[in-house]
Amino acid sequence: MSLCKLTVRFKEPFWIGLVEVEDGGSYSVARHVFGAEPTTPEVFDFIRDHWNDLRFTHEVQIETREAKRINPKRLRRMIEKEMRSDAWRGTKAQQTLAEQREATAEAGKTSSRQRKEEHKREQFAKRTEKRKQKHRGR
């Protein structure tokens, strides 16, 4: 069963929509910037007309657990422990978008590093050629 959820929130200075899709054990998310505050008909039109234009993140496998009743005192202790921990907080959508940003940044760093190394090789080749030409007396 597939579950889709659209959350519209205000993130200074724009209204942003997060579309979350959960299908079986996989989860992916897409982000759309609305700009001004969208009305309900505008949101419905966006879903109807631009659903295929959304770029979803890679699918992340999630755990599916059966609902189990937890003692309220234990639940409160677990929540307090998590609040005290230094774990990064955020929704699944925020975490998935952060992972995608990190992957894109890493790919950019790799390509930048390769370009710099290629530039250094070219500069070295020019210097050595110039040195050879001077040595030959030209």
Does 57 score more than 90 pLDDT? no
The reply to whether the predicted model has a pTM over 0.85 is no
Confidence of residue 87 (pLDDT cuts 50, 70, 90): low
d(CA 22, CA 29): 9
Distance of CA 121 to the CA centre of its chain: 34
> Residue 121's pLDDT is what?
97
Mean pLDDT of 128-135: 90
Q: For 88-112, what is the HEC assignment?
A: CCCCHHHHHHHHHHHHHHHHHHHHH
Residues of the chain with pLDDT > 70, as a percent, come to 89
3-class SS of residue 79: helix
